[in-house]
Amino acid sequence: MTHVLVAGGGPVGLATAIEARLAGFEATVVEPRSGVIDKACGEGLMPGALPALARLGVDPRGFPLLGVQYRDARRAVTHRFRRGSALGVRRLELHGALRARAAELGVRTTLGRVESVVQDADGVEAAGIRADWLIAADGLHSTVAGLVGLDRGAPTARRRYGQRRHYDLAPWTDLIEVHWTPLGELYVTPTADDGIGIALLARRGVRFDDALAAVPGLAARVDGAAPRSELRGAGPFRQRRRSRVAGRVLLVGDASGYVDALTGEGIRIGLAQARVAIAALAAGDPGSYERAWRRVTREFRMLTAPLAALAASPAQPLVVPLARTAPFLFHGAVERIAR
């Protein structure tokens, strides 16, 4: 028996368990994979994510990033953060730091997979564990969301996917570079003094190497550099949920519904959701989490949905020219995302 059972031991699941312990709850994480878990992602922690991690007692190593630059074949536009900096952090480093902090606080972890959820007026049982509450942080394709009837299914139109690979290459910039190409967006994120990550966001079927070749300057920089990791993929990104609460079950992180990865806010939003989910339980009002979820994700949804639609449309080549001709929109949007 435990107070809070968290399904999913990724960064947001671990952050949820840490929040639970800081609130005085017993917490158990159930995860089918062992050890430190990697995932295809951009690996840029926005300035707003760093204080949230520090509040949990987590301080991952990484490469300081001072802004974001949008580029196409002919032009570039740069925004430097007005307050604080971002941090390029290998997913393995972030996950390892969260695992260590969770263990330090007494979070219990168990290998297992949630295949059924049974709840009643007094508790919920999943993966053979009885708990007061179940919080699902089991990703884009959340099993728990489906089991409790909250999954609305992924839209079939304009599906987008992610791919990522690291290289042994010294960073040439202190910015997150976003290269807009006809094949998709390439995100270049320095993660160490001697390493970078490149992530591709594109429709299904676009090959990573083809997208890289579509940016000759970037391809030339990478040419000859040894890959530091295997190519990994994720998606489709767009996921819809009917709600975030079903009785004693709450959804956080990507499991709660997702728009697109192009603004790099996944970790920041997930940390905010973890905090308000545990606050709702501590207040004895789990139903209030739905309202809190909508509040902490509102800007993400409002900014990301139109940009994702534009990125998947024939008007995609207009993104960088528009950012240059209307800099107040570009700078304002990036700064809001950063916070």
CA distance 45 to 67: 11
Band (126; pLDDT cuts 50, 70, 90): very high
129-136 vs 249-251, strand pairing mode? parallel
**Which pLDDT score, from 0 to 100, does residue 266 have?**
86
Q: What are phi and psi of 134, to 5 degrees?
A: -115, 125
**What's the token pair of residue 93?**
């480093």
pLDDT of residue 330: 78
Mean pLDDT across the stretch 182-194?
A: 95
Q: Is the pLDDT at 264 greater than 80, yes or no?
A: no
Distance CA 335, CA 220 (A): 31
Rg for the chain, CA atoms, rounded? 20
Rounded to the nearest integer, the mean pLDDT of the chain is 92
Query: Using the 8-state DSSP alphabet, how is residue 32 labeled?
Result: S
pLDDT per residue over 213-260, tens digit each? 999 999 999 999 999 999 999 888 888 999 999 999 999 999 999 887
Is the preceding peptide bond at 236 cis, omega within 30 degrees of 0?
Answer: yes
Task: Output the pLDDT for position 265.
Answer: 79
Q: Are 248 and 123 in contact (CB under 8 A)?
A: yes
Kindly state the tokens that stand for 332: 């304002």
- The residue count of the chain comes to 339
Instruction: Tell me which residue has tokens 């399904």.
Output: 7
Helix (H) or strand (E) holding 275: helix 266-282
Residue 262 has pLDDT above 80, yes or no: no
Token couple for 45: 């922690």
Largest CA distance in the chain: 62
The reported pLDDT for the residue numbered 316 is 87
User: Rounded to an integer, what distance in angstroms lies between the CA atom of residue 188 and that of residue 164?
Assistant: 10
In sequence order, the 6+-apart residues with CB closer than 8 A to the CB of 266 are 41, 253, 254, 258
Reduced to 3 states, what is the DSSP secondary structure of residue 240?
A: coil
| pLDDT (tens digit per residue) in 273-304 | 999 999 999 999 999 999 999 999 988 888 88
pLDDT at 302: 82
pLDDT given at position 205: 92
* Burial class for 203, CB neighbours closer than 10 Å (0-12, 13-18, 19+): middle
What pLDDT does 235 receive? 84
- pLDDT, one tens digit per residue, over 151-187 is 997 777 778 899 999 999 999 999 999 999 999 999 9
What span, in angstroms and rounded, lies between the C-alpha atoms of 264 and 303?
12
- Site of tokens 């947001």: 12
Question: Cα–Cα distance between 14 and 28 in angstroms, integer?
Answer: 10
What CATH number was assigned to the domain covering residues 2-64+87-155+238-313?
3.50.50.60
> What are the pLDDT digits (tens) for 38-73?
888 888 999 989 999 999 999 999 999 999 999 999
Q: Which amino acid would we find at residue 20?
A: A
Predicted confidence at residue 116, as pLDDT, reads 97
Of the candidates 252, 281, 256, 245, the residue with the CA atom closest to the CA atom of residue 4 = 281
Q: Which two tokens stand for residue 74?
A: 């002919």
Selected residue with higher pLDDT from 315 and 193 = 193
Q: With pLDDT > 70 as the criterion, what percentage of the chain qualifies?
A: 99
pLDDT on residue 23: 98
**pLDDT in the model for residue 295:** 95
If 0-12 CB within 10 Å is exposed, 13-18 middle and 19+ buried, where does residue 284 land? exposed
pTM metric for this prediction: 0.94
